[in-house]
Amino acid sequence: MTTARPFLTILAQRALQAFIVAFIVGIVSFAMMQALPGDAAYRIAAGRYGYDMMDAAAAEAVRVELGLDRHWIVQLFDWLGALAQFDLGRSLVYGSPVIDEISVQLGYSLLLAAGAVIASLLIAVPVGIAAGLKPGGLVDRVTLAISIFVRAIPAFALGVVLVLAFAVQLKLFPVAGFRGPEHLVLPSLTLGLGLAAVSNRVVRDAVADAMAAEWQLFARTKGLSARLSVLRHVLRNASLPVVTYVGVQMAYLIEGVVIVETVFAWPGIGHALVHAIFARDVAMVQGTALTLGLIYVALNLVIDLACRGIDPRTRSA
Amino acid sequence: MTDQTQTGAMPRPRRAWPRIRPARGLGFTLLALLALCAVAGPDLVGQDPAKQSLLDARQPPSAANLLGTDHLGRDMAARLLSGAQLSLSLAVLSVLTAGLPGTLLGIAAAWYGGWTDRLLTSFADAVLALPGLLLVLMLAAISPGSWWALYAGISLTLWVEYFRYTRQRARIVIAEPAVEASRLLGLTPALIIRRHLVPEIGPGLLTIAAFGAATAVTAVAALGFVSVGVRPPTAEWGVMMTELLPYWREAPFLILQPVACLVITVLALHLSVGGMRRP
Amino acid sequence: MTVSDTPSSDTPSIAVDALSVFFGATRLLGPVSFRVAAGETLVIMGETGAGKSLAAQAILGILPKGLRAEGSITINGRRVDTLGPAERSALWGREIATLPQEPWRALDPLMRAGPQVIEAHRYVAGLPPEGARKACARDFETLGLQGAERRLPAALSGGMAQRVAFAAATAGQAPILLADEPTKGLDAERHARVVGLLAQVPEDGGALLVITHEVAVARALGGDIIVLRDGRVIEEGQTRHVLAKPQAPYTRDLLAADPEAWPKSENPTDGAIVLTAKDLAVTRGERVLIEGFDLSLRAGERVAVTGPSGIGKTTLLDTLAGLIAPAQGSVQRAAGLGRHAVQKLYQDPPAAFPPHVSLERSLRDIARLHDVAWDRVTEYLTALNLYPDMLKRRPDAVSGGELQRISVARALTVRPAVLLADEPTSRLDPITQRQTLELLSEITKDQGIAIVLVTHHAAIAENWAHQSITLRAPA
């Protein structure tokens, strides 16, 4: 499942992934820019000086300044060059530097992501262990059925249902926005339930496999108590596939952040991305998509290192 | 002196999950019904999904409007059916455009190895560098509201899974003594693929196809819901959810209809291949 | 060896009376009764599927779900079959130690070898941390495992893993040792080492119960023996006597199947040379495994290749088959031999067939591609004691021995000049092994086919082949 990789290889692989993310985001953003209707110079001039202060001369000045009259391939290199220098430009809508907007939103998104992962682990680990200790038992079958059902509900639909149930009907939690910790509950739960619907089965498999392993039986027959065998052998072995799978789920997490933030009007990067796409604010789209992509890479790196920490085989190789 | 080979490394069959016998049957029945609805479309209820009638807005179900009317007085049943047409045809199309090349390239990568393999695997890894929905979202944003951008984006993200699965299984199968024996015995590559590979990867591909179709349906609705996919007034489940969300209090049965359609479709697709996929 | 007739709580012993294991109403094992006291050895011998392992599982109380044991089991003077699971598991490691079947799978893959032994000393024997570490170091020294403490199980050889398991299992000083197929998958040299380790147990005053399918293990351990077949006791008595003068026909077959007992093969016919290897070298990565290998293979000749595991026997075979280009030297086929003139037989017969296709379809494919009439194929099958009817099944629905013979028939279909067989019988039971190799030598003699057999069994190489080559690592 996990292949033995030296530390530097892990770093290099993830660095390459980060580079690819930046490259794809840059190219797609550039394509988006080219696809915008109307004259880009006019639009940028309007963004800079306001519609009232803008005229053909100002647009022409912008065109010359930014080289918008050059061939598109030259412009693409320019675009990617700016990206390589971490110059994300200014929001076409607000006029403020993209980096400022993102630095505010980033904290909210990370808070939501952390809340979601914690919620999913709080649900998946106990449920999975209970099911895995008795494979085929009642708990196993019931949780399987629930997992299948919850998994079939897309994150935003689940969000809508939770909002309707807990916020509108029961008035237990706030509907949207962020003003305090109680606002974190529903969005985290929405994402966490979606994550847990699959990961509880992974925990269940890992525990069931470890309990059925011959080394587990040998740990018992050599004289260790059931408790010691679980503590010293089963948990560590079972955690490896679980942590690996949490890595796989990071894609779902990032996707979920984008959608769930929009459902709950959460002031994070995902919401900003959707908003920017809607408003055709290309600079913001590029900045937010890039940040989300890099968070994804960073989370994968954390998982790689966690697996390395758990599995000594990858270190001694 | 130490022998580093590990004879005990043969994978053990995993413990079977409890089987829910009626699950697949239920999944297939639901899928057949959905397919029927999608093929017939709005004609099934004889209403025009686009025809507004503000006087008849937010009506409860009646003989004329089987599932009531929305905030603009359009027939809900007709709109849901029209949405089913859109979602399911897009799902089927993207499964085909992702599945065929994905599988064939996977076999090619495993069979030829070397540079072919490295090139294809790098391309697949590049697509996977970003979370799938993020990529679809951005591609869809190049030309907002276009059906084609959605279709291309979803297909581009989905093929990777067929490719990776096929490549991985095919590499294992090709390395088995059975294939070596067949080669020594003079079987042609086409026959080896037919006898050894196809029965091995067929069921797995079917599972990927069902889950991929569910992903496509979900993605279309998610993008429609956050207003970056298909645009109103097109009848699409995600778009309908956004439109009907403000009327929750007055007409709860309205918003729940597209939600139910979406969940039933995804559930039917998942159940048809056994409900839960081994990660 | 003294046999005490009065069991008392202070003499280590295990007594089993009318033990049977059932699946529903079907009796899988028994009734079997025996007694092993301090300083004694009991060997339970039988083929795979004879229910041997069920005896071990019943004694420990770890029968798989759905199986049920009857009869009484007494360990160190205490009746244990009536105890609950918690009380029975309290005996493990302290009253009765168990050596696992496959040591690699019995060790935690994520924990280094040392700590797996230390924890037994610490938590089972109850030593303080420092004492446990010292005890483990002592164990590793006595067992010749110095330096292996920091290794993970995957980096241990089969023989080393078995010794680590032995140290962990016996750390709790249990006076009884139960070993279920302790030599499974070990080559000759490591085999002897593990048997030596076991033989030490009764000498040190312990009681030893060994379950095996190998006559050689029983012979080396002595003591008493029980021969099982299909769960029933066929014969019992002192090992020495039973092996020298078997009474039951089945025991005789079993003993005759031991390659040591096979008749020496006659001299080869002087056939034409079909395959020549000159100054062949075999490498794995940068490492040279075999150097200067020469072979002139004649039609109808049987050559055996032996050597320790990891020496590159399989790679050598693949080089002879033309599947791998030689690192050095050459492999030459006789003029006029076609592309399919060299065929292979594999160690694990089910892995050599497409698993989802009926055997008939596999064979018909090959017959069609080579323009061979189907009647010819059925002739080969009949000559190999097979019924064409069983071809309707898939590879996993016929026994290993049958499948290996079907793979011989499959190879014959393409009229080969050379058969390269890679441990083709090592997964088969002794009696089946003998039948298969006898049929193989008959049919290759009739057809004038040369055969190269890779085996880890020195006696098979010696007695079955015309010529035996032992591989050694280059200095």
Secondary structure of B11-76 as H, E, C letters: CCCCCCCCCCHHHHHHHHHHHHHHHHHHHHHHHHCCCCCCCCCHHHCCCCCCCCCCCCECCCCCEH
Mean per-residue pLDDT, C37-45:
90
Quick: pLDDT tens for C445-467. Answer: 888 899 999 988 888 888 888 88
Answer whether residue B1 shows pLDDT above 60.
no
State the pLDDT at residue B3.
Answer: 31
Rounded to a whole number of angstroms, the distance from the CA of A316 to the nearest CA of chain C is: 9
Chain B residues closer than 8 Å to C411 by CB:
185
Q: Which of A178-192, A212-226, C304-318 is most confident?
A: A212-226
Name the percent of chain A lying above pLDDT 90: 15
B20 touches chain C (CB under 8 A): no
Answer whether residue A66 shows pLDDT above 90.
no
For chain C, what's the residue count? 475
Contact C109 A313 (CB under 8 A): yes
Rounded to a whole number of angstroms, the distance from the CA of B28 to the nearest CA of chain A is: 15
What span, in angstroms and rounded, lies between the C-alpha atoms of C13 and C205? 11
Answer whether residue C363 shows pLDDT above 90.
yes
Residue C309 burial (10 A CB sphere; 0-12, 13-18, 19+): buried
Binned at pLDDT 50, 70 and 90, residue A87 comes out as confident
DSSP, residue by residue, B207-260: HHHHHHHHHHHHHHHHHHHTTSSSPTTS--HHHHHHHHGGGTTT-HHHHHHHHH
State the pairing for strand pair C467-470/C302-306: parallel
Q: What is the CATH number of domain C261-470?
A: 3.40.50.300
- Which residue of chain C comes nearest to A310, CA vs CA? C110
B271 touches chain A (CB under 8 A): yes
C451 touches chain A (CB under 8 A): no
- Which residue of chain C comes nearest to A307, CA vs CA? C110
Q: State the chains in contact with C (3 or more Cβ–Cβ pairs under 8 Å).
A: A, B
A209 touches chain B (CB under 8 A): yes
Could you say which of A221, A237, A313 has the minimum Cβ distance to residue C93?
A: A221
17-36 of B, contacting A, C-beta below 8 A: 17-18, 20, 23
Q: State the chains in contact with A (3 or more Cβ–Cβ pairs under 8 Å).
A: B, C
State the pLDDT at residue A47.
Answer: 64
Contact C340 B184 (CB under 8 A): yes
Among B39-53, B194-208, C290-304, the least confident range: B39-53
On the question of a cis peptide bond just before residue C153, with omega within 30 degrees of 0, the verdict is no
Which of B19, B122, B137 is the best mutation test for A, with the most CBs of A within 10 A? B137
State the pLDDT at residue C136.
Answer: 92
170-229 of A, contacting C, C-beta below 8 A: 213-215, 217-226, 228
Answer whether residue B105 shows pLDDT above 90.
yes
Report the half-sphere exposure of B238 (CA within 13 A, side-chain side).
26
Binned at pLDDT 50, 70 and 90, residue A175 comes out as low
State the pLDDT at residue A118.
Answer: 93
Answer whether residue B2 shows pLDDT above 60.
no
State the pLDDT at residue B99.
Answer: 92
Residue C62 burial (10 A CB sphere; 0-12, 13-18, 19+): middle
Among C46-50, C253-257, C391-395, the least confident range: C46-50
Among A57-61, C3-7, C60-64, C348-352, the least confident range: C3-7
Contact C109 A225 (CB under 8 A): no
Could you say which of A213, A221, A312 has the minimum Cβ distance to residue C152?
A: A312
Binned at pLDDT 50, 70 and 90, residue A1 comes out as very low
State the pLDDT at residue B42.
Answer: 72
Contact C112 A312 (CB under 8 A): yes
Q: Cα B240 to the chain's mean position, in Å?
A: 20
Alpha helices in C39-128 (DSSP H): 52-60, 85-89, 103-106, 113-119
The type of residue at C225 is I
Mean pLDDT of chain B: 81
Which of A147, A215, A259 is the best mutation test for B, with the most CBs of B within 10 A? A259
Q: Quote the tokens at residue A177.
A: 């926005």
Contact C356 B200 (CB under 8 A): yes
Answer whether residue A127 shows pLDDT above 90.
yes
The type of residue at C8 is S
Q: Which of A72-76, C10-14, C221-225, C260-264 is most confident?
A: C221-225
Answer whether residue B14 shows pLDDT above 50.
no
Q: Do residues C274 and C334 touch, judged by C-beta distance below 8 A?
A: yes
- Which residue of chain A comes nearest to B231, CA vs CA? A278
A2 touches chain B (CB under 8 A): no
Mean per-residue pLDDT, A31-41:
72
What span, in angstroms and rounded, lies between the C-alpha atoms of C234 and A158? 66
Q: State the chains in contact with B (3 or more Cβ–Cβ pairs under 8 Å).
A: A, C
Quick: pLDDT tens for A219-265. Answer: 999 999 988 998 899 988 998 888 888 888 888 888 888 888 888 88
Quick: pLDDT tens for A277-289. Answer: 887 778 888 888 8
Chain A residues closer than 8 Å to C89 by CB:
220, 225-226
Which residues make up the CATH 3.40.50.300 domain(s) of chain C?
14-260, 261-470
Answer whether residue C208 shows pLDDT above 90.
yes
State the pLDDT at residue B53.
Answer: 74
Q: Name, in order, each residue with C-beta under 8 angstroms of B192's C-beta and a sequence gap of 6 or more.
A: B179, B182, B183
* ipTM score of complex: 0.79
Domains belonging to chain B, first-starting first, are 22-40+73-272 (1.10.3720.10)
Quick: pLDDT tens for B172-190. Answer: 899 888 999 999 998 999 9
Rounded to a whole number of angstroms, the distance from the CA of A55 to the nearest CA of chain B is: 27
Answer whether residue C366 shows pLDDT above 80.
yes
State the pLDDT at residue B6.
Answer: 29
Answer whether residue A50 shows pLDDT above 70.
no
Answer whether residue C431 shows pLDDT above 50.
yes
**Residue whose token pair is 């446990």:** C132
State the pLDDT at residue C36.
Answer: 92
Q: Do residues C322 and C331 touch, judged by C-beta distance below 8 A?
A: yes
Mean per-residue pLDDT, B235-255:
82
**CATH fold label, C14-260:** Rossmann fold (3.40.50)
Contact B3 C310 (CB under 8 A): yes
Chain C residues closer than 8 Å to A225 by CB:
89, 123
Contact A237 C110 (CB under 8 A): yes
Mean pLDDT of chain C: 86
Mean per-residue pLDDT, C195-201:
89
Contact C102 A214 (CB under 8 A): yes
Rounded to a whole number of angstroms, the distance from the CA of C133 to the nearest CA of chain A is: 17
Could you say which of B226, B241, B263 has the minimum Cβ distance to residue A274?
A: B226
State the pLDDT at residue C50.
Answer: 66
User: What sign results for the dihedral spanned by CA atoms C77, C82, C87, C92?
Assistant: positive
State the pLDDT at residue B125.
Answer: 85
What span, in angstroms and rounded, lies between the C-alpha atoms of C409 and C352? 13
What span, in angstroms and rounded, lies between the C-alpha atoms of C161 and C99? 11
Quick: pLDDT tens for B59-100. Answer: 777 777 777 777 777 887 888 888 888 889 989 999 999 999
Strand, helix or coil for residue C45: strand
Q: Do residues C318 and B183 touch, judged by C-beta distance below 8 A?
A: no
What span, in angstroms and rounded, lies between the C-alpha atoms of C94 and C121? 11
Q: Do residues C46 and C33 touch, judged by C-beta distance below 8 A?
A: no
Could you say which of A233, A236, A313 has the minimum Cβ distance to residue C152?
A: A313
Chain A residues closer than 8 Å to C126 by CB:
none
The more confident residue out of C375 and A97 is: C375
C97 touches chain A (CB under 8 A): yes
Q: Do residues B129 and B97 touch, judged by C-beta distance below 8 A?
A: no
Binned at pLDDT 50, 70 and 90, residue B234 comes out as confident
The more confident residue out of C285 and A305 is: A305
State the pLDDT at residue B98.
Answer: 92
State the pLDDT at residue B19.
Answer: 52
Which of C80, C110, C118, C150 is the best mutation test for A, with the most CBs of A within 10 A? C110
Mean pLDDT of chain A: 82
Quick: pLDDT tens for C373-400. Answer: 999 899 888 888 888 888 888 888 888 8
B8 touches chain C (CB under 8 A): yes
State the pLDDT at residue B12.
Answer: 33
Rounded to a whole number of angstroms, the distance from the CA of C451 to the nearest CA of chain A is: 39
Answer whether residue B8 shows pLDDT above 50.
no
Binned at pLDDT 50, 70 and 90, residue B233 comes out as confident
What span, in angstroms and rounded, lies between the C-alpha atoms of C388 and C393? 10
What span, in angstroms and rounded, lies between the C-alpha atoms of C131 and C141? 15
Could you say which of C155, C323, C362 has the minimum Cβ distance to residue B180?
A: C323
Q: Name, in order, each residue with C-beta under 8 angstroms of C463's C-beta and a sequence gap of 6 or more.
A: C259, C260, C262, C263, C264, C265
State the pLDDT at residue C185.
Answer: 67
The more confident residue out of B243 and A167 is: B243
State the pLDDT at residue A245.
Answer: 87
